[in-house]
Amino acid sequence: MKWRPGHLAAAAALWLAACAAAPPGTQPVHTFPEIEARQTFSVGYRQISDRYLEKLSVRSLAIEGIKGLNAIDPEFSIAERGEDIVIRSGSRDVRQWPAPGAGDADAWSRLTVDAIAAARRHSPGLGAAATELLYESVFEGSISLLDSFSRYSGAEKAKRNRERRSGFGGIGIRFSAKPEGAHITEVFDGAPAARAMLLQGDIITHVDGQSLADIPRQRIAKLIKGAVGSTVELRFMRAKGAEPIEISIRRARIIAPTVYLKQEGGVLFARIKGFNKRTSKQLSGLLAPVLKHRRDSIRGIVLDLRSNPGGLLSQAVKVADLFLGDGRIVSTKGRHPASLHAYNAHATEVARDLPMVVLINGRSASASEIVAAALQDHERALVIGSASFGKGTVQTVIALPNKGELILTWSRFITPSGYVLNGLGVPPYICTSVLSGTVPEMVDATVSNAPNLTRMLERWRGSAKGGLAEKKRLKSICPASDQRADFDGRIAEYLIANRDAYQRVLSLSPTIASAEKP
């Protein structure tokens, strides 16, 4: 059984602290919500077995889950003895049950809870373990059978995950924690903080009368956040040593901005840091007035997706749709019928006559790779940088009765040209992780290498036939880089300013076999 980084590091210390020898039958320190736990494990086992990318029996998930308790008490173990399940403490049997049917989620969840209850009466470490640690131990055990992108989040972390995806009650700032308080690093446009005239560089020293001096950042964030419509009292300074200012701000629903637009010369640079519920709307909202009122001064668009870890699939589709007139954007394919989808463009293309460049690197993943691959496959944009990360799987979020959540991999992305992104990523036309020299020299070297580049792209698109070894070989041609080098942008500006060079590089791409592949 494999364990993940960050898994239960405190569990061993907790067990050692609680493990002064105690006789069997010692009462647990904390109560355990058995009814909630049965419901939670039942939902978790059933959803993993039904929806995960590969078929796994409820039996195997439950057995690995119960084994997970060993992370809290190394003396604890589980054994399959004939048709029975036995839990043990050291060399001694603690309890034995007949094994339920392999697919009976309700029965296996009851057995899991019964095993926890029995083990807690015989183990000081398990008896002293908090409820969330027990949930985490079991689900981490089950998820050890899954891929690295599937995970369990307890109630508190699940709440933060939902806030990142869908927003939270707050005032609309980013800040860093300093000894004197919260140092504002960004104020979101249109948010309550902006309307209250808070500025980047201001230092919030008190929230609702409580000093923020030497308080951790996460604690400060909890104090500033609150119910939408509620009021928070702030004291802040415009500069160190300045007179404090006190204001009241009404909290609103905050969805953090992910798009930042700037114009340099005649080029629009749109950096997308992630994909949340407002990304496509924010991007179109920023582009629309510029393209309407300054259209004649714009020569091209650069979409900077470097170090973008991804986010919501639906938003990746909408962002790609902004720049495509028709054709397939991405397909998803998994084991569960609900995971089968084909997403197409809807003829809403903006700036269709402007050249476009997409910047990627080795930390561009998931949703950002969908956008880059779709624009590249339809020859709408040149892709520049290094091979992207290759995170080509879709996760679905399962809410659990204990207010935690499971994030399960349940399908794979398929690009318009038919290759699977997972483990491979998107290939750039101009590979800045291997080229050197001036910008014109790098462009000329790419064009001079046209036959090899075209063959590489053809093999990339046919990589499914070559397996893992072929994917590794292809990625080594343009090694992934984590850098956001300035010359990526300079190459983009050069190509946009030189339409002949832009078209020469664009013509190196082999035509996709079909934009309608399933």
Residues tagged active-site: 366, 377, 391
CA dist 300 and 306 (Å) reads 18
Whole-angstrom distance, CA of residue 98 vs CA of residue 86: 9
39's enclosing H/E stretch is: helix 34-51
> Amino acid identity of 493?
E
Phi, psi of 319 (to 5 degrees): -65, -45
- CA distance linking residue 140 with residue 129, whole number of Å: 15
Phi, psi of 16 (to 5 degrees): -65, -40
With tokens 């309550």, the residue in question is 192
Yes or no: say if 131 and 32 are a contact pair by the CB < 8 Å rule.
yes
Q: Residue 176 in contact with residue 185, Cβ under 8 Å?
A: yes
Q: Is 515 within 8 Å of 328 (Cβ atoms)?
A: yes
Half-sphere exposure of 442 (CA within 13 A, CB side): 20
| Closest listed residue to residue 319, CA positions, set 360, 274, 377, 354 | 274
Distance (Å, whole) CA 324 – CA 321: 5
| Beta carbons within 10 angstroms of residue 401's beta carbon | 16
β-partners of residue 412 are: 333, 393
Number of residues that make up the chain: 518
Query: What is the layout of strands, in order, in the sheet containing 259-264?
Result: 259-264, 267-272, 300-304, 356-360, 382-385, 430-431
CA distances from 216 to 200, 211, 237, 377, 440 (A): 20, 12, 19, 46, 49
The strand pairing partners of 264, in sequence order, are: 267
Alpha helices in 378-433 (DSSP H): none
